[in-house]
């Protein structure tokens, strides 16, 4: 056996290769061949990428491992770090600031990134790009996602054009995996191998019919089918994941299930659950109703999991489930795309979901298969069960034909929409990859979009419109191509082409990773402002594409919003459209979103934020992160345009939103460990400036904020004093 293969298998706890890995080795994964590996969840695909990664690193090359989600990136980082750092490999995780080149990455061998972060790194011109010998694209089927897909597609196309590395693309089974392989100049490998046998069941009329044929299982009559299945699973000392369509449904389901599951918990489990329950409450400074609900449910051995949870809460729940303490998780489908969280049984209760565009419609096959793939725990189970609940005989027949026997949908490129083309066209021009009109079209002719649709006439027209728009925004300029001595270019081609070059501000917009339309909107508003009130600034960023979806409007909101409009009419940078105009509702939503941010930075607690605006801790974190990004971009654009009088107002507003504080607390939050709650406590105790904190005795400060933090604050103040004396 190849030494690299032996090494990876040993580190992963396996003794021999499986069929997926054998096929990949036969296809030349260690000889530099690019591969598309389409195989079920838990089939060992990741080890194929690890074979290639160790091989590339041994040859002195860097490896970039691209994943779609931050949570998945963190999971891969901890896994690879534990396995390979003892061998001397340097593993890095880069998922943060989108306006940074992260020069420290140059010394690492394997770099784990999201597609957005790596696209950002490419825009900043990373000097180590030519050292990249392998790129792993995990979950390649997410090219089908309108949000993340285009960035992944463009990033891969850039890499192929710039360094042409070996590419290992990993995916659950998808129909057109061979088409993706053709685009990547890769070999296609498809396998149905799964180390844990998967039984797919359809539950209807209190019976579960399994495929492949297992037996017909009858379930109890006392509770709804999903409850009965979960109850029986807990009695077997195993775990269940139940997928439902909405956040609200996950919370209701977990709450009701707890009353059943708690009866089968032992003393040791109850003790562990109490600790997990306490950690859920500690995850946020001021626990919300949602936090208390989750904490109480955990005591009963169940939990809900959705995007509204704080990051620490999600991790606490996931860890509790992995160790077997939490018995049942009710989750929205997003969990199936994220971290590796297998269970003996997966129950898919809701087969439909609502969307504003299509109404209530069946979930795509690929997503259902992703959920079903979570059934069966490698190393623990010999089999797993994925059970779909049908509400009628007709639906049971549909489930069998579509989800059990049907093929997943083809992956379709989502690149050909204007907002996507705007962002990526500017980036390509700013980085010098597309230095002319023809080169821009040539780049897009190498994308998966072009591979699928072939006829580029529609794309050409869209790119012409985008170029015109970027010129109007003064983000690019054009001219004649002169002095081209390329012997392969005809004079007639030269005459028809047009040189494209990013302006200074256009290059900065590309680096800031915001839509050019948003950047132009911000610039136009800044140009007419002599002074920026915080609320006006918040309304401006709340009316951008990056902040969508804005907060929804409820009947009870209109009176307050009209009152806010009347109070702030003179200071708003953008006046409201007429009520009959199509933009009017979006404008009102931006007012409500700005109102929410304003209440947050006036120190409204997370509990009241949830009560008044319906914003959960998880959603609050995402919205604050987006606001910080947009306010930072606004600050950078103002700096570039020499609008110095506005800068201090923008910076103050950004800090206040970041920490959720009134202006008087700004000096205190400079200290590590001092957030909005402790800063307010110190301020109310008369400690309002750093000089006040220097004067107060350590013992007195300890009584206020605890001995450990008090000492840390004093140490920080001493360091600041040394720095000031050095500067003087």
> What mean pLDDT is predicted for residues 462-470?
95
Residue 59 backbone dihedrals phi, psi, to 5 degrees = -90, 10
> What mean pLDDT is predicted for residues 234-254?
94
Least confident of 16-25, 72-81, 468-477, 495-504: 495-504
CB 297 within 8 A of CB 256: no
> What mean pLDDT is predicted for residues 261-265?
89
**Two tokens, residue 556:** 């009870």
What is the reported pLDDT for 322? 93
CATH class of 3-190: alpha beta
Convert the pLDDT of each residue in 264-293 to its tens digit.
888 999 999 999 999 999 888 788 999 999
Query: CATH for 418-511?
Result: 1.10.10.10
CATH class of 197-404: alpha beta
Q: Tell me how far apart the alpha carbons of residues 214 and 198 are, in angstroms, rounded to a whole number.
A: 11
**Two tokens, residue 358:** 């299509």
Convert the pLDDT of each residue in 429-452 to its tens digit.
999 999 999 999 999 999 999 999
- Is the pLDDT at 174 greater than 90? The verdict is no
**Two tokens, residue 95:** 């998922």
Percent with pLDDT over 90 in the chain? 75
**Two tokens, residue 317:** 């729940």
> What mean pLDDT is predicted for residues 189-213?
93
Cβ atoms within 10 Å of 38's Cβ, excluding its own:
28
Q: How confident is the model at residue 213 (pLDDT cuts 50, 70, 90)?
A: confident
Q: Tell me how far apart the alpha carbons of residues 65 and 79 are, in angstroms, rounded to a whole number.
A: 13
The CA-based angle 257-261-266, given to 5 degrees, is 155
Which listed CATH number (3.30.565.10, 3.30.420.140, 3.40.190.10, 1.10.150.20) goes with 670-727?
1.10.150.20
Instruction: State the Rg of the chain over Cα.
Output: 28
Q: Tell me how far apart the alpha carbons of residues 500 and 480 are, in angstroms, rounded to a whole number.
A: 9
Q: Tell me how far apart the alpha carbons of residues 627 and 610 are, in angstroms, rounded to a whole number.
A: 18
Residue ranges, comma separated, of all CATH 1.10.150.20 domains in the chain are 670-727
What is the reported pLDDT for 494? 45
Question: Bridge-partner residues for 360, per DSSP?
Answer: 354
What is the reported pLDDT for 705? 93
Pairing status of strand 35-38 against strand 62-67: unpaired
Convert the pLDDT of each residue in 629-641 to its tens digit.
999 999 999 999 9
Q: Tell me how far apart the alpha carbons of residues 149 and 169 are, in angstroms, rounded to a whole number.
A: 14
Q: Tell me how far apart the alpha carbons of residues 579 and 587 are, in angstroms, rounded to a whole number.
A: 10
**To the nearest whole number, what is the mean pLDDT of the chain?**
91
DSSP letter (8 states) at residue 546: G
Residue 647 backbone dihedrals phi, psi, to 5 degrees = -60, -45
> What mean pLDDT is predicted for residues 240-246?
95
3 state SS of 218: strand
For 243, 256, 261, 327, 433, the CA distances from 299, given in Å and listed in that order, are: 21, 13, 10, 11, 56
**Two tokens, residue 68:** 């779609």
**Two tokens, residue 506:** 């256009």
Q: Tell me how far apart the alpha carbons of residues 105 and 115 are, in angstroms, rounded to a whole number.
A: 16
Pairing status of strand 499-502 against strand 476-479: antiparallel
Residue 172: which of 193, 197, 201, 145 has the closest Cα?
193
What is the reported pLDDT for 42? 82
Which residues are CB-neighbours of 358 under 8 A, at least 6 positions away? none
Residue 661: which of 713, 620, 605, 712 has the closest Cα?
605
CB 101 within 8 A of CB 120: no
**Two tokens, residue 315:** 């991790």
**Two tokens, residue 487:** 């012997």
Q: Tell me how far apart the alpha carbons of residues 343 and 339 are, in angstroms, rounded to a whole number.
A: 13
Q: Tell me how far apart the alpha carbons of residues 319 and 119 are, in angstroms, rounded to a whole number.
A: 31
- Is the pLDDT at 490 greater than 60? The verdict is no
Residue ranges, comma separated, of all CATH 1.10.10.10 domains in the chain are 418-511
**Two tokens, residue 577:** 């459209």
pTM of this structure: 0.91
What is the reported pLDDT for 727? 58
Pairing status of strand 197-204 against strand 207-211: antiparallel
> What mean pLDDT is predicted for residues 501-526?
96
CB 577 within 8 A of CB 586: no
What is the reported pLDDT for 531? 82
Residue ranges, comma separated, of all CATH 3.40.50.300 domains in the chain are 3-190, 197-404
Residue ranges, comma separated, of all CATH 1.10.3380.20 domains in the chain are 514-660
Residue 327: which of 387, 382, 283, 272 has the closest Cα?
272
Cβ atoms within 10 Å of 169's Cβ, excluding its own:
28
Convert the pLDDT of each residue in 643-664 to its tens digit.
988 999 999 999 999 999 999 9
Identify which has the larger pLDDT, 384 or 726: 384
- 445 upstream amide cis, omega within 30 of 0: no
Convert the pLDDT of each residue in 528-574 to its tens digit.
887 889 999 999 999 999 998 889 998 888 999 999 999 998 899 88
- Is the pLDDT at 482 greater than 80? The verdict is no
What is the reported pLDDT for 492? 44
What is the reported pLDDT for 338? 67
Side by side, the strands of the sheet bearing 207-211 are 216-218, 207-211, 197-204, 383-389, 345-348, 240-243, 328-331, 302-305
Percent with pLDDT over 70 in the chain? 97
- Burial track 560-574 (b if 16+ CB lie within 10 A, e otherwise): ebeebbeebeeebbe
Strongest mean pLDDT among 143-152, 210-219, 501-510? 501-510
> What mean pLDDT is predicted for residues 349-357?
82
Q: Tell me how far apart the alpha carbons of residues 348 and 333 are, in angstroms, rounded to a whole number.
A: 9
CATH class of 514-660: mainly alpha
Which residues are CB-neighbours of 142 under 8 A, at least 6 positions away? 68, 148, 149, 152, 337
DSSP letter (8 states) at residue 671: S
């Amino acid at each position: 056996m190849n030494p690299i293969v032996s090494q990876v298998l040993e580190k992963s706890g396996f003794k021999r290769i499986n069929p997926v890995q054998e096929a990949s080795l036969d296809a030349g994964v260690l000889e530099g061949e690019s591969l598309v590996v389409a195989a079920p969840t838990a089939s060992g695909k990741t080890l194929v990428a690890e074979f290639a990664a160790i091989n590339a690193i041994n040859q002195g090359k860097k490896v970039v491992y691209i994943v779609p989600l931050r949570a998945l990136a963190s999971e891969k980082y901890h896994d690879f770090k534990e396995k390979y750092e003892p061998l001397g490999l340097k593993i890095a995780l880069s998922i943060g600031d989108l306006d940074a080149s992260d020069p420290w990455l140059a010394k690492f061998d394997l770099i784990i990134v999201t597609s957005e972060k790596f696209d950002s790194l490419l825009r900043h011109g990373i000097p180590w790009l030519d050292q990249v010998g392998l790129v792993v694209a995990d979950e390649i089927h997410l090219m089908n996602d309108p949000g993340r897909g285009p960035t992944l597609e463009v990033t891969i196309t850039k890499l192929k054009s710039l360094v042409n590395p070996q590419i290992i693309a990993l995916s659950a089974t998808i129909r057109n995996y061979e088409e993706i392989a053709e685009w990547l100049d890769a070999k296609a490998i498809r396998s149905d191998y799964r180390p844990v046998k998967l039984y797919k069941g359809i539950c209807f009329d209190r019976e579960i019919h399994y495929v492949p044929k297992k037996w017909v299982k009858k379930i109890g009559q006392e509770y709804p089918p999903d409850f009965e299945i979960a109850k029986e699973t807990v009695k077997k000392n195993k775990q269940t994941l139940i997928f439902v369509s909405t956040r609200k449904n996950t919370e209701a389901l977990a709450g009701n299930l707890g009353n059943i599951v708690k009866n089968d918990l032992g003393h040791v489990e109850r003790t562990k659950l109490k600790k997990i329950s306490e950690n859920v409450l500690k995850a946020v400074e001021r626990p919300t109703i949602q936090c208390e609900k989750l904490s109480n449910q955990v005591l009963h051995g169940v939990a809900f999991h959705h995007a509204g949870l704080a990051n620490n809460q999600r991790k606490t729940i996931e860890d509790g489930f992995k160790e077997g303490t939490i018995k049942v998780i009710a989750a929205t489908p997003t969990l199936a795309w994220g971290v590796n969280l297998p269970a003996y049984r997966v129950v898919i209760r809701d087969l439909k979901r609502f969307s504003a565009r299509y109404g209530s419609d069946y979930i795509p096959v690929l997503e259902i298969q992703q959920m079903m793939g979570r059934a069966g725990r490698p190393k623990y189970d010999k089999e797993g069960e994925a059970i779909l609940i049908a509400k009628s005989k007709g639906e049971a027949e549909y489930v069998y034909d579509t989800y059990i026997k049907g093929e997943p949908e083809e992956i379709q490129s989502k690149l050909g929409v204007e907002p996507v083309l705007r962002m990526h066209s500017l980036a390509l021009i700013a980085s010098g990859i597309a230095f002319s009109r023809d080169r821009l079209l040539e780049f897009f002719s190498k994308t998966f979009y072009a591979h699928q649709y072939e006829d580029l006439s529609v794309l050409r027209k869209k790119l012409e419109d985008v170029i015109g728009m970027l010129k109007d925004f003064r983000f690019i300029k054009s001219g004649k191509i002169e002095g081209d001595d390329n012997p392969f270019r005809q004079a007639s081609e030269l005459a028809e082409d047009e040189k494209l070059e990013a302006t200074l501000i256009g290059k900065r917009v590309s680096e800031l990773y915001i839509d050019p339309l948003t950047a132009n909107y911000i610039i136009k508003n800044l140009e007419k402002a002599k002074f920026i009130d915080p609320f006006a600034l918040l309304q401006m960023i709340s009316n951008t594409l990056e902040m969508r979806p804005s907060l929804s409007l409820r009947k009870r909101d209109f009176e307050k919003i009209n009152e806010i409009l009347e109070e702030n009419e003179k200071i708003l940078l953008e006046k409201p459209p007429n009520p009959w105009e199509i933009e009017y509702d979006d404008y009102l939503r931006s007012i409500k979103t700005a109102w929410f941010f304003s209440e947050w930075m006036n120190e409204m607690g997370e509990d009241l934020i949830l009560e008044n605006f319906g914003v959960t801790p998880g959603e609050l974190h995402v919205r604050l992160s987006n606001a910080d990004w947009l306010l930072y971009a606004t600050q950078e654009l103002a700096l570039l345009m020499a609008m110095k009088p506005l800068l201090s107002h923008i910076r103050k507003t950004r800090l206040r939103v970041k920490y959720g504080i009134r202006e008087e607390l700004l000096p205190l939050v400079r200290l590590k460990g001092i957030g909005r709650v402790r800063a307010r406590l110190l301020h109310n105790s008369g400690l309002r400036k750093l000089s006040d904190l220097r004067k107060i005795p350590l013992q007195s400060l300890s009584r206020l904020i605890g001995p450990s933090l008090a000492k840390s604050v004093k140490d920080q103040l001493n360091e600041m004093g040394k720095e000031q004396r050095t500067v003087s």
